Structures are given as C-alpha cells and as structure tokens.
Amino acid sequence: MRVTSRRPLAVAACGVLAALVVGLPSHAQRPSGAEPSLAFDSALCGAGGDLEVGFLLTDAVDAPGTYAVTDVTLRTGPESSPWRDAELGGTLQPGAELPGAEAGPLSGRVLVPGDAGRVELKAELERTPADGRTERIELHAEADLDACTPIVPEQLEVPDRVWGPYGGKRTIPTHVSPEGGQTTHPSVVRVPGGWNGYEYWMAHTPYPSGNSAHEDPNIVASNDGVTWVVPAGLDNPIDDQPGLPGPYNSDTDLQMGPDNTMYVFWRVVIPDASQERIKYSSSTDGVNWTAPAEALRSSMSARRPLSPSLLYENGHWVMWAIDILPSPNRMVYFVGGATPAKADWGAPSTVALGAMQSGKEPWHLSVARDGDAYIGLLNDTAQGSTGRDGDLVFVTGTSPTAFANSHFGAIPRLKPGMHDHLYRATMFADTEYGVPGYRVWYSARLALNPNVWNIQQTFLHGAAVHGSPP
C-alpha cells in the first residue's frame, strides 16, 4: 500500500527565524476494517536551510487486531537513493503500538537538507489479529518539497562582526551503526574542479552518545557539500583506538599537501603513558591511506596541544593548536619541515588572540588562508570546563602568531531540539547570492543524557569578510 502526498509551499516569515511552511493535509476518516495509513503531514523550513518534515501514522477505525511498528526508514532525493534509519523525533518509533483511531495518530519528525527535493518514509508494521496469527504490512508516504534556503542576514550594525544563522543538519556516513550516526570534529577541504571524483572532502570523528571508543578518524566526500558519501573502496576508520579508559582518538584536521596528496591529522590521547600525540596519514586517491605516523609527541606534564589545525605553505608545514595545560588555555603555533614527521617540528610559540568573551577560554579551532590573511573559527569554552557553553568566534590576522577575535559568537548557540553547545568548526572563504562570506560546517552538542552530537552547515556574512574594506 502506498500513500503519496504532495503539497505546495505556503510562506510565513518572522525576523531572522523566518520559516516556510508546507500546508497541512486533511485526514478523512477511513472506513471500518481498513489498514492503517501513513501520510506526509508538514515541513518547516528553518533559517539555517534545513527542513523539518513531519509524518503521521493513523490507525483505521474498528481495525481488527493491534498494530506495532517494527522499523522506520527514510530516503531523500531520487528513488534510487539508499534507505537509511529515519532517526525520527516524536512517537513514530520502532516498538510503538498504534493507540487506535480515537486516540490519534503516531507522529514523527525528521530533519533533511533543504535541497532534498523528495522525501519518502517507509514504516513496517506487525499486526496481531484476534486469532493470534502475525502479519506484516509495509506503508509508504512521500512528498515533493520546494527548496529551503538559508536566510541571508542583513548587514549588522557593528561593522567588524562576521555572523550568520545556525546551520542545517547534515547526515554524515560513519563506520558506526547506524552509518549516518552522530559525529563531530569536521574538517573540510574543497578542491575546485574535483580531486579523485569529488570536490569536497571531510574528515570527522564519530561520537555517538559521547562514546570515545568510536571517536576515530573517518573520511567522506561530496560534490555539493551537502550530501556526503564514503568513496567506493574506502574502509573507515583510518585509525582505531579502544577508547577510555584506554587510548582514544579525537580532533581531525584535513589538508592538501604537496604533490597532489591529501593529509589527515588527528590527536591521540594515551592516559596510561600520560602522553598525547598528533598523528597523520596521507593519500593520493582518497581511498588508500598510509599507515598512521607521528607528527608530534607530548608529555601531559609538559604540554597538551588539542585541536591541531595545519597548513602547508612556502615549502613547509605549520600547525596551530590549543595548549590546555596552563590556565587559561592558550593558542600555540609550531613550524615544521617539508614533511609532517615529528623530527622536523620546532618549539611552540604563543599566539596572541586578544581578549576572550567574559568567563571564556580557547578550546578548539581551525585556521585557513584567505589571500594574505589567516582566518579561522575559534571554539571557546567556559573557563575550567571541557567544551561547556561553547561559542564559535571569528578570528583573523596577517601574522601566524597574532590574531584579532570578534569577541562575539558568529553562530547562534541555541538551535531548539538540535544543539545548545557549539564545538569544532571548519570554513573557507566563498560567496553566496553574490555576497562574499564564509562557508562553514560546525559540530555541536545537545546536552541530554547521553549527549547528542551532529554536524551542521551554514554561511557567514558581515563587513569583515574577504574582499570587504577593513
């Protein structure tokens, strides 16, 4: 049985959090004895460019027996797209039993990219009639949706601010089941014209419910920055550690190096040895990666550099990191050699950042080049904490050891139902709607028990963007 619903978009707007709303379909009472029905309900277009799509599963009037949901899957885009776990919010969940037509439907909501175009939900149900025989049925509901695009913020009153709306959630494949599960620490490289079949490449670390056993470097690729896949033949993760209380990985950084070779860097913490290491692996095709090697080794009693951010420039590697051993945390800068090998790195220099937000200290960061300037997003944290109340602050400088920061969160920390703490981000200079700015993927946490981690995508504007006057 297939139920197809297609609804045009109606527009409603209210300030920065304006929304496009898909009209609600009417639900006529079904005749006695009919099967349950699955129907598209509504879609809400958020300021960050993602769509929250709702579905309803309604029992039939006087239907014989009881129905229980056994599985719910979703696919977006063409009908040839793969099915995946729906990750629905609401009552439409595996294991739920239909409460009967009089009690109302089960409802489920899911976030999809704003340019998904088509969404289809499949629900598998198990019916137990009065005679005790078990039967299975499969229901479908689909909708064709107009595109949802992020709201372009108007010029801010404060001229040196870079700012944008919170992002749209992205489903990133991971080596953990389900494959589109929670992840963090994104690092994106864009290669105009493509590199081994893809224009965008991302490193990230799966982190379902904050489980460090899965916080291992993964590689994915995309041709639009929105839909991400694991390239054929690639076996994630690049490195595997057991997780706490043993060694664990974190903090990926992806960079293009010389000879058309891509490098992925990550941090390894070894509690028993009181050591922290920055490791790396390289690839010329994005599929086959070299065995992990060390770029840096530190004793926890001497320094603790986390969130490494590297660039290859002028024939050698350079690296920024946040040293969390002193208090408050500080940003440091290392100069290496023609390869990232640990023998080539010099002693760190402290990087000037300017005054932080009140009660905050540096936590994670990423740095990129924009012409003659260095730009970046610095994730801060409440002093003495490990990522609490994190914001993303825009930083820029013409020297690798002296930056100015915006002293202002560039992205709203609160996205209802999705995140209330921001984390490591990655960005590069770009344009959107003909306006210069910065394309950003950021990780964020929703403080629950356990925590929920996901990656969002947005675009930042403001007066202090590339190509604009100082």
Q: Are 52 and 43 in contact (CB under 8 A)?
A: yes
25 pLDDT above the threshold of 90: no
Is 470's pLDDT higher than 60? no
Q: How far is CA 239 from CA 174, 250, 364, in A?
A: 13, 11, 21
Query: Please, how many CA atoms are within 13 Å of residue 272, restricted to the half-sphere of its CB?
Result: 7
| Residues 390, 455 within the same domain | yes
Assign 457 a pLDDT band (cuts: 50, 70, 90): very high
Per-chain mean pLDDT for the chain: 85
* 344 belongs to a structural domain: yes
Question: Residue 229 sits in a domain of what CATH number?
Answer: 2.120.10.10
Of 106-115, 208-217, 294-303, 440-449, where does mean pLDDT reach its minimum?
Answer: 106-115
Instruction: Provide, rounded to the nearest whole percent, the portion of the chain with pLDDT above 90.
Output: 60
- Whether residue 154 lies inside any domain: the answer is no
Asked, for residue 95, whether it belongs to a domain, the answer is yes
Q: Are residues 105 and 239 in the same domain?
A: no
**Residue 48 — very low, low, confident or very high, per pLDDT cuts 50/70/90?**
low
For residues 394 and 354, the answer to whether their CB atoms sit within 8 Å is: no
Cα–Cα nearest to 207, from 391, 421, 35, 371: 421
**For position 108, what pLDDT does the model report?**
86
Which one of 90, 113, 144 terminates a domain?
144
Specify the pTM: 0.73
- Comparing 460 with 179, which gets the higher pLDDT? 460
- pLDDT at 395 (0 to 100): 93
- pLDDT at site 417: 80
Query: Are residue 140 and residue 173 in the same domain, yes or no?
Result: no
In CATH, what number is assigned to the domain containing residue 61?
2.60.40
Averaged pLDDT for residues 35-64: 81
pLDDT by residue (tens digit) across 181-237? 799 999 999 999 999 999 999 999 999 999 999 999 999 999 999 889 999 999 999
Report the range of poorest mean pLDDT among 34-43, 115-124, 267-276.
34-43
Both 112 and 188 in one domain: the answer is no
pLDDT tens, residue by residue, 303-334: 999 999 999 999 999 999 999 998 899 999 99
> Of 193, 114, 149, 15, which is closest to residue 432 (Cα–Cα)?
149
Whether 426 is in a domain gets the answer yes
Is residue 18 predicted with pLDDT exceeding 50? Answer: no
Range of the domain at 131: 2-144
pLDDT digits (tens, 9 = 90+) for 397-424: 999 999 999 888 999 999 888 899 999 9
350 and 249 share one domain: yes
Number of domains the chain is built from: 2
CB-based burial, 441-450: b 16+ in 10 Å, e otherwise:
bbbbbbeeee
